[in-house]
Amino acid sequence: MKPIGYVVVALVAAAAGFGIYQFALAPHATTEQAAATLPASPAEDEMAEGYDSLPETLPDFTLANLEGQPQSIRSWTGKSMIINFWATWCAPCRREIPLLKKIQAEHGAEDFQVVGVAVDFRDDVLKYAKEIGIDYPLLIGEEDGLDAVTKFGRGSLGFPFTVFTDNQERLVLFHLGELHPEQAEVMLATVRRVNAGELTPAAARAVAAKQLQELPQAKE
């Protein structure tokens, strides 16, 4: 237990008023409570019309990496990014990590890059990452991690959430909640089309929204 850290984060949370702060880093929050705030899958109107508040390009922020060195989220120049915001206490976050590892292993050669952004206590993240063998880059922050979340312009967020960019650092897709394999394939295929010049990011969102809505799990 780290009482000073918890008090600081709680004060930041209260000031910011974001839904994510209602349970992020709170000592009494359970993973079940956190999961209960998340939708099962993105609705079509969320995918197609809910991007007005998001920046057009990947906002820059710097957090400590696994080695404790400051690193910018823009370090991976020319890559299509899959940026996953998570925490160790979040059950949906933990469940999707094997999928993220698989994406990196199978699509890294296509210049897709998974980066996990852990908004959590550093010691907890280091311990958990070692236990389960996270093999993609991690950036870690507490208050500064919360600051990174605010750069995406969304007020009420829960964990996990994942941002997909193209290879020009333009934000293409945004997914709130646990990412499932079928959803990931749709999103990766959509980003490929943006990279190839077949779709603009705005057109890509409409295409992905329709395809995601047709998935069986998106109808649950």
pLDDT at 53 (0 to 100):
75
CATH 3.40.30.10 fits 31-219, yes or no: yes
pLDDT at 54 (0 to 100):
85
Residue type, 217: Q
Q: What is the pTM of this model?
A: 0.79
pLDDT at 51 (0 to 100):
75
Structure tokens at 112: 């897709």
Domain ranges of the chain: 31-219
pLDDT at 15 (0 to 100):
34
CB-based contact 184:47 (threshold 8 Å): no
* pLDDT profile of the chain (220 residues), mean per 10: 38 35 37 37 47 87 97 97 97 97 97 97 97 97 93 76 97 95 97 98 95 74
pLDDT at 152 (0 to 100):
87
User: Closest by alpha carbon to 205, among 42, 73, 58?
Assistant: 42
CB-based contact 39:177 (threshold 8 Å): yes
pLDDT at 217 (0 to 100):
60
CB-based contact 172:38 (threshold 8 Å): no
CB-based contact 148:141 (threshold 8 Å): yes
Residue in this structure with the two tokens 């009482």, named with its chain if needed: 3
